[in-house]
Each structure stands twice: as C-alpha cells, then as structure tokens.
A and B are shown apart, each in its own frame.
Chain A
Amino acid sequence: MATTLRPAAPAVPRRTRGRRGGRSPYPGWFYLPAAVVYGVLFLVPTVASFYFALTRWTIFTSEFIGVDNFVQFFQEPALTKGFVNTFVYAAITSGAKVVLGLALGMLLTSQILGRGYLRAVVFFPVLVSTVGVGITFQVLMNPSKGAINAALGVIGIHGPGWLVDPSLALLSVALVDVWKGVGLATLIYMAGIVSIPKEYYEAARVDGAGSWTLFRNVIFPLSWPATSTVVTLSLIGGLRSFDLIWSMTRGGPGFTSDVIASVIYKQYQAGFYGLSTAGNVILFVAVIAIVLPLTRFLARKEVEL
C-alpha cells in the first residue's frame, strides 16, 4: 500500500533524509487526508474571505466594491456596537473566569468538606448544551416572573430587568457565560495548583508565611501556566462567542447585546454576504491582534516568575 501511494508524498525530504535507504516509517502522505479536509473547508474559506469581504456578494455573483463594507461596518451604530461589545464581553468573561477559577481552584484543592461533590457540581455545566443553558436562564432571568427576581424580592431587593434592560443585557449574558464556563477554569487551576511541589509550601511555612503571603508568593506565581491557559482559552472563546448570546437575547434589546459573531449571522440572514464576511475578517483581525501579543506576554511573564 505504501508503495502504491508513494507519489503523493513529498519525495524530496525523504530522499535527503535517507533514513533506512529512503523508506521512512513515517510517510508524508499520512498528512494528506487531514490536509485535504482542513485545507478545503478551513484554509480556502479563510483566504477567500479576504477577497469576498471587499465585494457586494450574492451567492451567485460578486462585485468588487473596495472597502465599502468595512466603512459601513464602522459607520452604522448597530454594527459598531457589536464590535465594541465583543471586547467588553470577552474581557468580562475571561477576567471573571480567572478570578473565580483561581479562588475555586484553591478552595477545591484544599481539605474541605464535600470536595468531590463540589468539584462535580462546578464542572458539570461545562458539558451541558449552551442553548439549553441559555433558554433556562432566559426564563430564570425573566424580570417580572423569573425565579431570580422572585428570590431577590424575598430579601427585599427589587431585581433588575436582566435581559430586557439595554444597559444590562450584555452583562447578564456574560454572567451566564461565566456560570457555564467557570468549571473549566477551575479544573485548569486545580491541575496547576496540584502540580506545585509540596516543598514550596513547607519552605513558606518554615519562613512563617501567612495565607496571603503564601498566595502572593507561592500559589499565584507557580500556577501561572494555568492562568495563561485560562486567559487564552476564555479570550478565544469569548471573542467568537455566539451560541449563548443568540439563544438568550438574539443581540437584543435592539442591538445592545450584539457581538461580531451575531452581526455576522444577522447580515448573513439578511443576504448581505459581503458585509457578513467583512465582519468575519474584522473578527480574525481582532482575535489575532489580541491573542498573539497576549500569549507572548504571558509566556514572557512565565519565564520571569
């Protein structure tokens, strides 16, 4: 089989490496099936998007119009709002996941009652359908009848209009995102904290370090790889977030909780394929502009700590 398929593999590297008379046990054609699927359905569309973003595009014809789509994107308030919201949403959710994940990670690696139960219950929402979670909280957050405001009413607080208040809708969705995703952050922190060698705790204790010093000088710096992973993962997830927002508010009320991903969907539904693709290109640029420098910064920090 290997011999019949040999022409498909890049012949040059094998010949130059020449291991075992030119027949590598690790043939290049092993890449081929994956490369075809990935190339055709991920790379080609990604490259094509940079052209189609510059066109007025129906599914049959495309007309080159230069940067008009981008101009429109940043001129229409509805679209610009989505752009700004994307960053707000990503920053809030990843910040909250770092803080809560670290706190819960420390709590759930210490000797407390019901640790196994707590770990299970914090993590389970990660596995649940996002749409299901969205619908459930949409009902729980109902301003007049929902269980959350009913519970707040019992203790004498007049609950806000979570998803119907334009200034609060995005935050409410972000809150649910944190509820659903904090389990993963906690898990990553737990793995990071558990991998810190015991000697550090002992040394700190011998030096008479209190809880805060221990946290500040041992746990936080030594679990930095976990922080790095949590920040990167939740930023990547937060910037492209769609499922939860779409199932809870559909970008509303008005367009106050729109993000780039929901703008892409709305423009696609409306038949503005060029504009939708321009949104996609803006999302690429946003992700790269934030994630690349950040990972570099986090990695450098890791060396320093």
Chain B
Amino acid sequence: MSSTVTPPTPTGGQLAGASSRPPASAAAPAAGRVGGPRAALYRYGVGTLAIVVSVVVFLVPFGFILLTAAMDATQASEFRFAWPRHFQLWDNVVQVLQTRDYILVIAFINSVVLTLASVTALVVLGSMVAFVLQRRVSRWTGLINFLVLTGLIMPPAIVPTIWVLQRLGLFATMPGLILVEVAFGLSFTILLFRAFISTIPRELDEAAVLDGAGPLRLFFRVVLPLLRPVMVTVILVQSVAVFNDFQNPLYFLPGDAGATVQLTLFNFQSQNLSSYNLLFTDILLITVPMLVLYLFFNRQIVAGLTSGAVKG
C-alpha cells in the first residue's frame, strides 16, 4: 500500500499548541512500539484508510450539497448523488436570492446585524466583568462565579423570557434578540476572558495607576489592547454561535421582517418542497461564510474551543 502514496509530507503542529515532537517518539500514542516497517505501515496504511473513510463520511455530504445546488429542479428532486445534467449553480444562486422579494438578502443583513451587535456587546461587557472578577476578590466574587456557571449550564426559560421581553416592549424586535444573545452568551465569554486576564501581570495595572490612569483608562487603554488574542477567539466562537443560532430567533424574533438566515432556511424547507436545488443553494450560501472563516482563522477557533480541555 505504501507504494501508492506520495513522499512523506511534513506534518507539523497544525493544532494550536501542538508542538511537533521529534520523529523518534512521535508515533507513540497509537502505533505502540516504534519499528521501522511497522511505523511506515501504520503511517501510510492507516492514514490511507482514514482518508478514504473521511471522504465517504465527511466530504460526500458536502459534495452532495454542492452538486444538488448546481442541479435543475427535476434532477434535484431525485436525491441522487450525481453530476448535474445542467450545471446551473449561478442561476440557482440568482433565483434563490430573488425568492420572495429578496428575503434571503434581507435575512443576510439581519443575521450580520445581529451577529455584529451581539458579539460587540459580548466582548465589551464580558471583558469588563472578567477583568474585575479576576483582579479583585470581594464578597461578591463567589456569587458571581456561581452565576457565571449557572449561565453556562442552565438552559434558558423560554416563555418567561418572552414575557419579560414583552413587558419591556422588546419582543419580536432585533434589539430584543440581540440582548437575549448577549445574556445567553455572557458566561462562556467571561470564562474565556478571565482565563486570559490571569496571565497579564498585575504590575502593569499598578504602573498605569501610578501614572494617574482611572479605572476606565486602565481597562480600555491599557488592558483591553493586551487581550487581542483572546478577543479574536471570543469574536470567532461567538460569531459562529450567533450566526448559526436557530432556536433563539425562532422564539424571540418571529415574523418575516426580522428573519435571520437560519429561519429563512427552515421556512424555505417547509414551504418549497418541490425545489430542492434552491434549498441546497440556500444551505450552500450560508455555509460559505463559515468555510471562509475557518480557512483564515482555524488556529484561533481551535484555541477557543479547546481552552477548557487541559485545565478541565
């Protein structure tokens, strides 16, 4: 089997934090004893097998989305994994964008507004809490830590949230949904920021205070710029979460005017079961932003999502 494969590619640490170990001990975890031919068999044999399986399990579904998005309506309704008879991806994109008076375009704008606003608010509010929570131990610290964990574990109470939003005149409005996303996302944001802030030396704060900086200047001019790495992580992880969120827009922002892309996709599925090519074009369109994000920022996304793994 090893004859079919290309020369060894350098497999450095792709994962954030994965140091490239010396080759001698590198095969250790799964290969067991390191022997020359056995290691090669493992590397190429198991590697090839894994690649074949991954193509079937992970790439075929995405290929299916792409191919169906390029088909005409008749062929798409056959549900086959096949090459499009008429390749009309662009036509489908144009058609899906024009559906029901450009509702998808409006939905994209809504989703972008929602994501930008809630992630901005999360970053500012979450980092402020994390900063004071990490720096100053007071009798509130225990309570606040408890509330942060509660927010992480407890599922939100849905109808009572609608009731509160209605009392405030925010139900079925974009600001209401933004605030809901902020409330539900705060806990995770605070934990990420707090872990990072603990690595910033206090001496820095003291120096700034000696220079006459008030709390606001200290935080926004001195500390916040240092949080850039974790901020990128928070922005990416929360953007993905908010952009892909389905449940909260479904409950808290009903109606076509404010529909987000996830909702239009869902409604499209219920209403338009004859044109599967357009349905899959829609799926393709909302997947592309995530793919772009992943290609550019995979290190930061990975760092954010694994932050809990080592410390437990």
Contact = CB atoms under 8 A, between A and B. Distances in A.
Nearest to B48: A113
A284 B151 CA distance: 12
Contacts of A121: 54, 58-59
B89 interface: no
A54 B280 CA distance: 44
A38 B123 CA distance: 14
A79 interface: no
Given A31-B144, A130-B246, A211 B31 contact: yes
Interface in B15-59: 15, 17-19, 21, 23, 25-34, 39, 42-44, 46-48, 50-51, 54, 57-59
Contacts of B276: 139
Contacts, number: 344
A131 B259 CA distance: 14
Interface stretch (B95-103, B154-162, B227-235): B154-162
Interface stretch (A90-98, A155-163, A166-174, A223-231): A223-231
A194 B164 contact: no
Contacts of B62: 124
A122 interface: yes
B232 to A, nearest CB: 16
Contact of B46 (A24, A107, A137, A261): A107
The secondary-structure label for the interface of chain A is: helix
Given A188-B306, A192-B309, A198-B25, A132 B287 contact: yes
B244 interface: yes
Contacts of A131: 246, 262, 265-266, 269
Given A30-B128, A191-B310, A194-B19, A45 B163 contact: yes
Contacts of A89: none
A107 B269 CA distance: 38
Interface in A173-213: 179, 184, 187-195, 198, 201-202, 205, 210-211
Interface in B139-182: 139-140, 144, 147, 151-161, 163-166, 168, 179-180, 182
A46 interface: yes
Chain B interface bracket (under 10, 10 to 19, 20 to 34, 35 or more): 35 or more
Contact of A124 (B14, B180, B246, B291): B291
A52 interface: yes
A194 B12 CA distance: 13
A106 to B, nearest CB: 5
A291 B179 CA distance: 27
Given A2-B216, A201-B25, A210-B33, A288 B153 contact: yes
A83 interface: no
B194 to A, nearest CB: 13
Interface of B: 5, 8-9, 11, 14-15, 17-19, 21, 23, 25-34, 39, 42-44, 46-48, 50-51, 54, 57-62, 64-65, 68, 78-81, 121, 124-126, 128-129, 131-133, 135-136, 138-140, 144, 147, 151-161, 163-166, 168, 179-180, 182-184, 186, 190, 205, 208-209, 213-216, 218-219, 240, 243-244, 246-247, 250-251, 261-262, 265-266, 269, 276, 279-280, 283, 286-287, 290-291, 293-294, 298, 301-302, 305-306, 308-312
Given A129-B290, A291-B153, 6 more contacts: A13-B139, A112-B43, A114-B9, A135-B279, A150-B80, A265-B251
Interface of A: 1-2, 10, 13, 17, 20, 24-28, 30-31, 33-35, 37-38, 40-46, 48-49, 52, 57, 59, 106-107, 109-133, 135-137, 139-140, 142, 145-147, 150, 179, 184, 187-195, 198, 201-202, 205, 210-211, 214, 219, 224-226, 228-229, 233, 236, 239-240, 242-243, 246-247, 261, 264-265, 268, 273, 276-277, 280-281, 283-284, 287-288, 291, 299, 302
29 contacts: A33-B124, A34-B125, A34-B190, A41-B165, A106-B30, A110-B29, A111-B23, A112-B43, A114-B50, A114-B51, A116-B14, A117-B51, A122-B58, A129-B262, A136-B64, A145-B78, A146-B79, A147-B60, A147-B64, A187-B305, A205-B33, A210-B33, A211-B32, A229-B312, A239-B155, A265-B250, A268-B251, A280-B158, A299-B312
